[in-house]
Amino acid sequence: MKKLFALILAVAMILTVANFALAEDLPVITIMFHGSNVTDDTAVLEAVNAYIADKVGAKLEVVWGTWGDFDEKATNALTSGDSSIDMVFTCSWSSDEYNTYAKKGYFVKLDDLIAEYGADLVAAIPESLMQAATIEGAEGMGIYAVNGFKDTATQNTWDVNVTLLEELGYTLDDFKAMSFYDFGDLFAKAKEVKGDSFYPFLVEPMVLERMVTGSIIVAGDSGATNLLSLYLNQEDVSAEGPYGNVLLNKFATEEYRKFVEQMHIYYEAGYIDPSLAVAETSNDTRTNAQKSGEYLIGTQSYALGYEHQASEERGIHVEFVPCTAPYVDTTASQGAMMAISTASEHPVESFKFLALLNSDPYLMTLMNYGVEGIHYTLNADGLVEFTDERANYSPWTNGMGNVTILPDTAAEGAGFREAFKAYYAEAKAIPSLGFVFNNEEVTNEMAALGTVAAQYALALDAGALDPETALPEFLAALDDAGMQTYLDAANAQLAAYMAAK
Amino acid sequence: MRKSKGQSATLNTFGPGAQAAFHAVLGLFALLCIVPFVFVIIISFTSEDSIRQIGYSFTPLSWSTQAYTYVFQLGGALWRSYFNSFLITFVGTSLSVIICILYSYPLYRRDFRYRGFFNFLSFFTMIFGGGLVPTFVVCKTLLGLSDNYAALIVPMLFSPFNVIVMRTFFQTTVPRELIEASTIDGAGEYRTLIQVVLPVVKPGIATIALLNALAFWNEWFLSLLYLTKNMDVMPLQYLLMRMQRNADFLAKNAGMLGADAAKAARNLPSQSLKMALVVFIVVPIACAYPFFQRYVVAGLTIGSVKG
């Protein structure tokens, strides 16, 4: 027994020594992504590590966070000071919310690193994105994450099944001339032609509400169900809206009442699938109906070029008809960022890597699309065509950083990235860009309000509840839960922000 | 004792009407237990088109084995995680049962001086937990529990609840005389425990083994926390849970993610595939139940001192 024990100890010691001998290699930096679908990254990491060994002086490892597990993994790694995670995805809507976590000191302030190593990065990313990332963090005003250059503007559109629309005897121009309040005849016709079990209006109720009333998401507002509305100026998004820079109780406005009343009419007429009004089934129903092209009009938060992909996938002709001009708000301009954890032992190497990833087309293509010859091939026109191997390596493209330096894919067509850049470069910023509601002082109210809103909002937005009776009930319940306190706190902060701006 | 016909009809029995009522209630209850599972099996064999058109239904429009074909095509990854689930459950249950017995037995022995302290030590953790982040720090940084099987087993090895169940079981089924008798007969502590006490508490062991096996088999949260780079040790439950959580997340954040969410939703597995995986998960544990059940039922009725 003693001999065995001694033997184990001896082996353990030898292993430890061997470990130290290996550790003289390059330092390992680890990056954690969001929304990945990656099962085999061996070939990619081999190529990446061969490429960055000299340029960055480190070896890369990747944690491929998925949509479902990223929030837990990221918040645990950051709050526990886990030094094995160096770089982590952050944004205005994830659990490791950029503004909050920067304020709490989980992210390294990058200004000095940018000054020293970031010349290429600064050249590759528009000034406006750098500004959007400049916030008041734990170490004062500065940049706490590298902001990804992607579809940085929000634009809500009608998702139109043109194939069916034309079958019904309408043209796309006819549709463009209609407003939300005159869809009735169109839906009635669709119902007549396609039968009673067909639901023409396939909506994302909460998105539709913003589209119709012309309001936007306020960064820092209650997540699952937004409570606050900021009304846009529909003519010119960079000008003040009808109510000025004031946040409103989303459900108490005249616009909202008018919207839900109309929705209830559509719902009662059988134009909307009842399962869209239930949180658990809403998304599945929508995805399924979209996949099979079983709808007439839907809603879509737009990204340039999506109509080609949607048409191809659904086997119908899809067009997206804009509801508003694209606008840049805080949510969109902090939509995908990459921060360095303060627990990291290699912040310099990590930053060098992020700078390279966002400015070097070869590295970005490798990380995002995989290895040429394995995950994709280039066709005669030099466009990317994915192979079957891509299924094992599909990171979330927009979550990685500067996607404008990626090559065009065959599905997107030549010149897509240039058009993409130009499209979003033209987008105007809303007056209160950069404002994030810091809800720390009203977390109790927010939780209570969120519960109340979860009970009514979706069903009202989808038209399933009669606003005549449900809306007053809802508003009273919100008042009881402290809506006014919540609203006052948000407006005081916005006023202070606008004054400082 | 000789039973006469007349006696058996009156002793411990009810009239036929009451019998029928009880049977109906219990039968209904049994049906309620089995129906969800039958439903899951039906959905797993339902074609996607049918789900798209009429949703989940006991009588789908068309049948399909597509989900199972897809599951078998998953190949290596699936069988690997299936194997992991079995391995984790087997090793975890064995170790946790041993630990539970070795901890609760001294707590039952009145001659153990530090009973109060160890009782408190285990009981205390039932009321006050360390919290998620501190636990994570201890497990990952201090104990190195990440990306390995140990990370999925060690954090669940000790359950204070099971210790209390087991201790109580010792107290109620093992009379002190038994220990004294074996001591007088010259048995040492280990022999007393293994050869005298353990055979008596088999039903108790079966109960906590079942509880532990279920806990290990259904565990996915540890995988979510501690598996980051090495997905080879992932159990089947986490594979399924990840699909579910991805779908939930995209549903919740569709508004924020816009077109990205719609694109990602395309890659989600079908409804029938999810149900097929549920079938894979439920079947082994459902098969294990009857074996444990014998002891569990026995535990309700027997004692060591007869007569």
A154-192 residue pLDDT tens: 888 999 999 999 999 999 999 999 999 999 999 999 999
Can you state the percent helix, strand and coil of chain B, rounding each to 5? 80, 0, 20
What integer best gives the mean pLDDT of chain B?
84
A33: its two tokens: 């992504």
Closest CA to A232 of A433, A93, A426, A463: A433
d(CA B234, CA B223): 7
ipTM of the complex: 0.76
How buried is residue B180: exposed, middle or buried, by Cβ count under 10 Å (0-12/13-18/19+)?
exposed
Close Cβ partners of A34 (under 8 Å, ≥ 6 residues apart): A65, A67, A70, A74, A89, A94, A336, A396, A399
Min Cα distance A124 → chain B (Å) is 23
Strands (E), A302-375: 318-322, 327-328, 337-340
* Vertex A284 angle, CA A278 and A290, to 5°: 120
Interface of A with B in 375-434 (CB under 8 A): 394, 396, 398
A287 interaction partners in chain B (CB closer than 8 Å):
262, 265-266, 268
d(CA A200, CA A293): 10
User: Which member of A82, A217, A301 has the closest CB to residue B141?
Assistant: A82
B228 interaction partners in chain A (CB closer than 8 Å):
32, 63, 73
Let me know if residue A155 belongs to a domain: no
- Tell me if A36 sits within 8 A of A64, measured CB to CB: yes
> What sign does the CA torsion over B78, B80, B86, B91 have?
negative
pLDDT band of residue B1 (cuts 50, 70, 90) is: very low
The pLDDT assigned to A252 comes to 93
d(CA B226, CA A165): 51
Asked if the model's pLDDT at residue B197 lies above 80, the reply is: yes
User: Which member of A67, A84, A294 has the closest CB to residue B249?
Assistant: A67
- Tell me if A207 sits within 8 A of A156, measured CB to CB: yes
A282 interaction partners in chain B (CB closer than 8 Å):
251
d(CA A198, CA A187): 10
d(CA A316, CA B156): 52
| Domain count along chain A | 1
User: Which member of B140, B255, B258 has the closest CB to residue A206?
Assistant: B255
The pLDDT assigned to B266 comes to 67
Let me know if residue A369 belongs to a domain: yes
- Tell me if A410 sits within 8 A of A379, measured CB to CB: yes
**Low-confidence winner among A35-49, A229-243, B267-281 (lowest mean pLDDT):** B267-281
Which domain, by its residues, includes A124? Answer: 23-150+333-426
Domains of chain B: residue spans and CATH:
18-64 (no CATH), 75-301 (1.10.3720.10)
* Vertex A282 angle, CA A281 and A284, to 5°: 65
Let me know if residue A363 belongs to a domain: yes
Asked if the model's pLDDT at residue B29 lies above 70, the reply is: yes
Q: What are phi and psi of A154, to 5 degrees?
A: -100, 140
Q: What is the mean pLDDT of residues B185-202?
A: 91
- What tens digit of pLDDT does each residue of A388-417 get? 888 889 899 889 999 999 999 888 888 888
Asked if the model's pLDDT at residue A146 lies above 60, the reply is: yes
Among A19, A32, A34, A76, most B C-beta atoms within 10 A, so best to mutate, is: A76
- Contact flag A61-B229 (C-beta cutoff 8 Å): yes
Interface A:B, Cβ pairs < 8 A:
116
The pLDDT assigned to B306 comes to 43
The pLDDT assigned to B304 comes to 46
A255: its two tokens: 């616009």
- Contact flag A68-B264 (C-beta cutoff 8 Å): no
B255 interaction partners in chain A (CB closer than 8 Å):
204, 206-207, 217, 301
d(CA B194, CA A335): 62
User: Which member of A207, A287, A398 has the closest CB to residue B260?
Assistant: A398
Let me know if residue A165 belongs to a domain: no
A115: its two tokens: 């000054």
User: What's the DSSP call for residue B189?
Assistant: H
* Vertex B55 angle, CA B257 and B256, to 5°: 10
Q: Give the Cβ contact number of residue B306 at 10 Å.
A: 5
Residue A275 in contact with partner chain B when CB distance is under 8 A: yes
- Tell me if B48 sits within 8 A of B270, measured CB to CB: yes
The pLDDT assigned to B3 comes to 47
- What tens digit of pLDDT does each residue of A316-371 get? 999 999 988 888 888 888 889 999 999 999 999 999 999 999 999 999 999 999 99
Residue A207 in contact with partner chain B when CB distance is under 8 A: yes
- Contact flag A292-B52 (C-beta cutoff 8 Å): yes
CATH number at residue A51: 3.40.190.10
- What tens digit of pLDDT does each residue of A71-104 get? 999 999 999 888 999 999 999 888 888 988 999 9
Asked if the model's pLDDT at residue B219 lies above 80, the reply is: yes
Number of H helices, E strands in chain B: 17, 0
User: Which member of A69, A76, A81 has the closest CB to residue B245?
Assistant: A69
- Contact flag A301-B258 (C-beta cutoff 8 Å): yes
Per DSSP bridges, beta strands A248-249 and A228-231 are: antiparallel
User: What's the DSSP call for residue A410?
Assistant: T
A194: its two tokens: 């396609």
- Contact flag A282-B251 (C-beta cutoff 8 Å): yes
The pLDDT assigned to B273 comes to 79
The pLDDT assigned to B91 comes to 96
User: Which member of A39, A80, A396 has the closest CB to residue B136?
Assistant: A80
- What tens digit of pLDDT does each residue of A123-138 get? 998 888 888 898 888 9
What integer best gives the mean pLDDT of chain A?
89
Q: How far is CA A400 from CA A221, A338, A455, B246, in A?
A: 25, 8, 36, 18
Min Cα distance A368 → chain B (Å) is 15
Place of tokens 């009981």: B123
Let me know if residue A452 belongs to a domain: no
3-state secondary structure A23-50: CCCCCEEEEEECCCEECCCHHHHHHHHH
Overall residue count recorded for chain B in this entry: 307
Let me know if residue A356 belongs to a domain: yes
Give the residue from chain B lying closest to A150, CA to CA: B260
The stretches of A178-305 forming alpha helices (DSSP H) are: 184-194, 205-213, 254-268, 279-292
Let me know if residue A177 belongs to a domain: no
- Contact flag B245-A39 (C-beta cutoff 8 Å): no
A236: its two tokens: 């010119």
Let me know if residue A3 belongs to a domain: no
Residue A308 in contact with partner chain B when CB distance is under 8 A: no
Among A39, A80, A90, most B C-beta atoms within 10 A, so best to mutate, is: A80
- What tens digit of pLDDT does each residue of B76-94 get? 778 888 899 999 999 999 9
User: Which member of B132, B252, B255 has the closest CB to residue A301?
Assistant: B255
Per DSSP bridges, beta strands A201-202 and A156-161 are: unpaired
d(CA A315, CA A296): 14
pTM: 0.80
